[in-house]
Amino acid sequence: MPHIIIEYADDIISSQGAKLMADAIFVVAEESGMFAPQNIKVRAVPITVYHLGLEGEGFIHVQCRIHAGRTTETKKQLTASIIKALQDLSIEAAVMTAEVIDMDRESYSKHTAED
């Protein structure tokens, strides 16, 4: 844990830019102290079709799927740090958003190659 999913408009961000985002957000998750580095999973998903009700082009939306139990303040600190890391990359997007989604520990299953 966590599973961090970056959805982004592929018409404003190159594959190299997506890699930079993934790397930066990995560092944010690691530096938060909430997760062991070997448990952090970040993936970037390009979106080709979208419509914004805003002026400008492009978006970035980050979902942080984590086990339930963290405080609202802790989750807010994580999303604020993610937004800051994205801003530091100087990506021109009409909107950048981040959210934490609590996953139910009791229904979560996992298998690794080491199992």
CA distance 6 to 38: 19
pLDDT at 115 over 70: no
Looking at residue 105, its pLDDT comes to 77
Whether the CB-CB separation of 59 and 98 falls below 8 Å is answered with: no
Is 22 a residue whose pLDDT tops 80? yes
> What is the widest separation between alpha-carbon atoms in the chain?
49
Long-range contacts from 26-33, C-beta under 8 angstroms, 24+ separation: 27/85, 28/78, 28/81, 28/82, 28/85, 29/2, 29/4, 29/64, 29/78, 31/81, 32/77, 32/78, 32/81
Where is 64: in which H helix or E strand? Answer: strand 59-67
Q: Kindly report, residue by residue over 35-56, the tens digit of the pLDDT.
A: 999 999 999 999 999 999 888 8
Would you state the CATH architecture of domain 1-55? Answer: 2-Layer Sandwich (3.30)
Q: What is the pTM of this model?
A: 0.91
Query: Amino acid letter at 63?
Result: Q
User: Span 1-29, mean pLDDT?
Assistant: 95
The pLDDT of residue 1:
81
The residue extents of the domains of the chain are: 1-55
